[in-house]
Amino acid sequence: MEELLHPRHPLDKYHQSQLALLATLPPAQRAYHARLFRLGNASYRYQQQAAGEVTEDDFHHWLEGLPEKMRVAMERDGFEASKNSLPLRRHALERRDLGYDAFLQSILSPEDWAYQQELAQPPAPEH
């Protein structure tokens, strides 16, 4: 099972629970669920790069780009309440040239990266 989880979750207890769940699945379902874990693990690793690195300057810069109602709500909540939000963390990382897509592409296999790109596409309009 170990070979199915690259990248692995950086926290061992979550890595072990992922392995345990995969072991309970029928073999035909393992690859699909392992891929979802790998994508989640890569995203988690990206977000962890911002731990303790989000500043009030990042917060104010982020607020400038938000729609008005959201900006007002985030301003009301303040920096301390928002500093761990995933969108703010991503904004802070991208301000430091640590882009989400580039990070995922560097850590995922080419097949998983292609799948991630497919997931990121908007659905085709229905006719």
pLDDT in tens, 4-55: 999 999 999 999 999 999 999 999 999 999 999 999 999 999 988 887 789 9
Amino acid in position 73: A
CA 15 vs. chain centroid, Å, equals 16
Strand locations in the chain, DSSP E? none
Q: Work out the average pLDDT over 52-64.
A: 93
State yes or no: pLDDT of 123 exceeds 90: no
Q: In whole angstroms, what is the distance from residue 26 CA to residue 3 CA? A: 17
**Cβ-based neighbour number of residue 10 at 10 Å:** 11
Neighbours of 19 (CB within 10 A): 17
113 touches 100 (CB < 8 A): no
pLDDT band per the 50, 70, 90 thresholds, residue 122:
confident
> Which has more pLDDT, 51 or 103?
103
The whole-number pLDDT of residue 43 equals 93
Q: Which stretch of DSSP H or E encloses residue 36?
A: helix 27-48
Mean pLDDT rounded to a whole number for the chain? 92
* Confidence at residue 3, expressed as pLDDT on a 0 to 100 scale: 87
Q: What is the pTM of this model?
A: 0.80
Which of helix, strand or coil describes residue 22?
helix
Contact 38, 7 (CB under 8 A): yes
Q: In this predicted structure, what is the pLDDT of residue 120?
A: 86
